[in-house]
Structures are given as C-alpha cells and as structure tokens.
Structure 1
C-alpha cells in the first residue's frame, strides 16, 4: 500500500527537497565544451543507434566537414552518404582509427553511439574482435584493473589525445536534444508519485557518483531497481515485474564528474514505450546531462502514453 497523502519523508542529510517545478535552474549543456571553428574537419567515431546521425547532422549544420569512422556491424547504413570521408573499421582496430583520422587531417572528433558492451564478459570475447597491437595493449595493460565502461572510454579518449586527436563533449552539436530544467511535457506527474520524486532524486544523485549505473526506479519511497551492466531496458523490465504495473518513477542522469566525451546517458522513443509497458508514469532526467533521441519524438511519445518527463 502506498497512500498518496502520506507525508514526505526527510531527504538524505545535506540535501534539500528538489524543486522540480522550477524552470530557472542553470542549464549544464554548455559546461566545459567549446565548438570548433567552421570549415574545420571533424571526426565522428560512430557506433549503433540514431545518436551518430543526429551528431552528424549537427556537425554539417555547423559548417564543418564530416569525416567518419564507422564501427563494423554497428553504424547506421545511411551514415556514409552524409560524410566527406568514411571508413568502416573494426571495433578493436584502434590503430586504423587513428591512421584514418590523421589522413583526413582531423584533430577534433566526437565518439558516439552504442556498442553491445555486455559481450565483453564472454570468455576471450575481446580476442574475437581481432584487436590490433594498440588496442590489445590498452585492454590488457591500461585496463587490467578496471574495465568499467566509463573507464574504458576515458582510456580510449586519452590514447587518441596522445596521437593528436582530441575527443570533445558528446553534447557539443546537439544542444536541442538535451533534457532541460522543469516539466518538459504537458502531462503532469500524478499526485501519488510526487513524494517519490522528492525522495528519489537526491538519493539517486548520490548513488550515480559511485559510477555503477545511470538509471534507477522508485515506488512508495523505496528503490525497486538500479541499473547495472544489463542496460536500461533490462532494468525497466525488472522494475515492471517488481511493481506489478503499479505506478513508479524512472530516474536517469550521470555523475557530476562524468566524462562527457563518451557514454553520455540517453533515452529514446523505445525507452518511453518500455517504461509505459512496465507501468512507469514519470521520467526524471538530469538537466543538460541526458540526451533525448530525438527530443520532439520522445516528448510526443510521452504525451501519447500519459507519461510526465521533467528535468532536474
């Protein structure tokens, strides 16, 4: 039983109850990022999903030349047509990434899109990618003690930097697709779950600093699921099973010190549909720290399914 008129519990020590209705909160989208000059060749290292397409369009809209590395078996097949230069390269062929980008005189690049990283836990799976010497050294030496996704991507960015290629903030070319402060939908959060929002956000904001996940589900002032390596969709399904379709709140953000050059959290239309099917009624996103793919479609889907989306 979770009565809607129950008093809000005290928030964790050192936090104030978040005012999610405030729309004047500072926007974090531009923090620490700067756009390269027009006409400069920009590299795009593209994994799967629609995010590389949005970033590609943003690069072209800014007047830059688009030079793309498409990760084999990952990138969208419509991507090459957008590019001045394109090369398909294996996921673990880091040396070829670097040689191609340098051949195109690229000194600035963006790395976006997904890779099914859960496969890394299969025995000898990394060797199945036929890594070159540079990638093998990174995997077996640099990452021997810590192979979390964020650590891997930061190490990769550092390796590119040592070779004259600077990875920049994923958000640089897609500011219009970021979560913004306050309520983003016409749909309001149900009265019965507002206490869960106030309870969950400060707790979640503390938890993500540990670097173990970027999503959480809350119902009746209790954490019912936290994302791990299984991914967001699996966590949503687990939350739905535990709640038996009773309303719950979905939270997503990243840590304050998260490396925005890679692995910025995202949600898309499919995420909205999955949350709806699992009984979720409210989505709370870190303002300026979560990418919405693409934002108009995400908001439209949420409205149609009666889900409220707000930024904190």
Structure 2
C-alpha cells in the first residue's frame, strides 16, 4: 500500500481518482485549492489540507506531513486566477523563477521537477482512471452527418496544432472554418465564443491531447457540463480524442447529449 499525494483543482476528477486509489488499497492525502476544489473531496481522502493558489511551500509541507511518496495533479485551475488572486509564497516564487515562457506545460513541468527534487514525484494518474477514458466511436443515439465527421476530423487536427504551441486543447469548427481556439479562457468560454460567431448554430467542438503530452498532468477532460455549454451555445457535435480524453460521468453525459440531440464522438488519435 502506498500513500499518494493528490494536488487537486476543480471538478470531479480529484474525487474519482481518490475513490479509485483507495479502492485499490492506497492512502490518499490531498491538497485542495480554495475557491477551486470541491469540498466533497474531504470525504473521499484520508487527509486534506486547503491552500491558496501559489502556496507551493504549503503544498510540499502537507504532502510530507501526510507521508506521501508520490503525487498526482488532477482538476482544473481557472487560468485567469494566476493574474488576479494568486498568492505565491517564497517557494512558489523560486519555482516560478525557473520558468522562462510561462505556458501551461512549462509551469506544470517546473512544479513536477521541484516535487521530484523534494522526494514527492508527480506520477501518471491514468492507471486509476482507465475506465474514465473516452471510448472510440459514437457514444450516444445521434449520428453525425458526413459534413460533421469531416469537421470533427479537421477540428482534431487543428486542436493538435494549437497543442503544439501549448495554447489549449479545444477548437470550434464549422464548414472547415475555425471559429474559436482555446487559450487562457478555458473550454467553456471557447465554446461560447464559437457559438457567438456561428449564429445559426450547428458547429463542431473538437478536443485533443497535445502532441507529446505529458500524461502526468493536464489531460483533456469533458463531462455533462461540457454538453450543457454546447447546447446553450447552439453546437451540434462534441468530438474528443479516444483513449486519451478523460470523461466524467459518461452515462449522464450521454443522456444529456441524447436529450439535446447532440452528437458525441470518440476519434482515435
């Protein structure tokens, strides 16, 4: 039995990971971010410490106090918060000073290098979440048209292109025209912006793993809320990279998509 440290952002994936790891016989000690992490995580772990964004020294202290010998990073952090209410401690400032270009991957890798040096290396969480990865094929009742399949394939190609630049993982496409690409604002805001430009609706949202993705962190993720955002914006198709995209609450997601007449697709990379 190992003690795994869980550095948790928002959403359900930290809770799902903790439940799976504990079922496998491991202890889970978590560090949760204020205003991001679901408080329900407390009931799914063996110990929980709350920190503010940027308090890297507090994170390390909590993992060590809990006896963690390895750690994982799961859950979203609202990117714009880095420019509004991050509270970097002295350790956080030292880690940040190592980063020249402050892209998502560079920041995460700097954090991973720091934790490895301190004896709590970041590991790949997907062995505990394999049943949460998107399967290949159409996932609900509704089938895409040939035009939508072509847009989905093109969208995934574009998503991988912006991934190479470490900008984001999501694009909005209609008739082979890119309407929106994800950057700092996140997936939902990207979808809404695409919907504003596609007044007649019927667009495709594609989400893919970045080329050379470090599987330890920042895997693409979707869930029922993604379908709700797509429906509100007037979208028609959500296409994700099969076997690599985390899917939260698949049954509920498919049920909502079926009700909204939205196509869900998993496409092999």
TM-score bucket of the superposed structures, by smaller chain: over 0.9
Q: Distance in 2 between matches of 1:284 and 1:223?
A: 14
Q: 1:191 offset after TM fit, Å? A: 4.1
Which residue matches 2:10? 48
Q: What whole-Å deviation, never above 9, does each CA across 1:143-186 have from its counterpart, x for those lacking one?
A: 2x211122111111111000011111232311111112222223
The higher radius of gyration belongs to 1
Alignment root-mean-square deviation, CA: 1.7
1:234 matches 2:189: yes
Segments of structure 2 that go 5 or more residues without pairing to the other structure are none
Q: What whole-Å deviation, never above 9, does each CA across 1:65-118 have from its counterpart, x for those lacking one?
A: 121112233222222122222222232221222122122221111111122221
Partners of 1:224 and 1:239 within 8 A in 2: yes
Q: What whole-Å deviation, never above 9, does each CA across 1:120-147 have from its counterpart, x for those lacking one?
A: 234xx54xx1x221111112x112x211
Q: Distance in 2 between matches of 1:121 and 1:68?
A: 25
1:166 matches 2:121: yes
Partners of 2:238 and 2:263 within 8 A in 1: yes
Which residue matches 1:71? 33
1:235-250 to 2 correspondences below 5 Å: 235-250=190-205
TM-score (norm 1): 0.80
Higher helix share: 2
Q: Distance in 2 between matches of 1:204 and 1:88?
A: 34
Segments of structure 1 that go 5 or more residues without pairing to the other structure are 1-38
Q: Give the number of the structure with larger relative contact order, counting CA–CA contacts within 8 Å between residues 6 or more apart.
A: 1
1:101 matches 2:63: yes
1:152 matches 2:144: no
TM-score (norm 2): 0.92
1:197-216 to 2 correspondences below 5 Å: 197-216=152-171
Change (3 A) 1:204 1:117: closer
